[in-house]
Homo-oligomer: A and B are copies of this chain.
Amino acid sequence: MVTLSDPALLLIRDGGMDGATGHYEKRLSELTGLYRDTAAHTAAIARSGDPVVYAVDDFRPSASSGDMIFGVTRMVPGKIGDEFYLTRGHIHAKADRPEIYHGQAGHGLMLMESPEGETKVIEIAANAVCYVPPFWIHRSINTGAEDFVMAFSYPADAGQDYGIIARSNGMRKRVVDDGKGGWSLADNPNYRRRTEAEIQTLMAQHI
């Protein structure tokens, strides 16, 4: 017989979460290779002392299939060249697992890419919820001037494959400052399309 877990109370505040079981941070230097303007990235690290650009508090009750993980991510505002601060991005290691992001504060977006290279963008602010379906690569981007905070939940056995974006030399589209207070999409000239065999391997991960 399995043992019972205890109910838990979590409290979202100041862009973090009381009751979390885990915490991690990413500094600007850990995002090497993600921004097109590598000189601006290097200069920003030197100038700013390599700040934390996003932080995650999460609650992981178990890794059991059927259980769920809940957490809060806080992204600081900023730009490297004409690109807004972003997360590394991932597809789930079990690629058929979805994720739900629920805006808490600030303004940003979810940049999503299907295995075949289709791009979708959903803008997120407080009270907006983005459903990232199974099989979509996703990356969060702070397009605002304040901290961008989201709650998230996903299946506990999903896992993350952070290499998928690097293997295609980045996502197909970049989100850049449009110079008018908003954002626009720009092509990534280095993007390598996934092969049919790669796509089929990803999509075969259906339980």
Contact with B along A76-103 (1 / 0, CB 8 A): 0000000000000000001011101010
Determine how many copies of this chain the complex contains. Answer: 2
With both beta carbons as reference points, the residue of chain B lying nearest to A131 in the complex is identified as: B8
* B-side contacts of A148, CB under 8 Å: none
Chain B residues near A131: list those with CB within 8 A: 7-10, 59, 61, 70
CA distance A143 to B7 in the complex (A): 19
0/1 interface trace, chain A 116-142, chain B, CB 8 Å (1 if under): 000010110001111111111000000
Alpha-carbon separation in the docked complex, A200 to B1 (Å): 8
Tell me, in angstroms, the Cα distance from A96 to B204 when the chains sit together.
26
Whether A197 sits at the interface, judged by CB under 8 Å, is: no
Query: Chain B residue with minimal CB distance to A133?
Result: B5
Interface residues in A36-59 by Cβ distance below 8 A to B read 59
Q: Is A28 an interface residue (CB 8 A)?
A: no
17 example contacts (A-B, Cβ-Cβ < 8 A) are as follows A2-B135, A4-B115, A5-B133, A5-B134, A6-B120, A7-B120, A7-B131, A7-B136, A11-B129, A19-B129, A61-B133, A64-B96, A66-B94, A67-B96, A68-B100, A70-B129, A153-B153
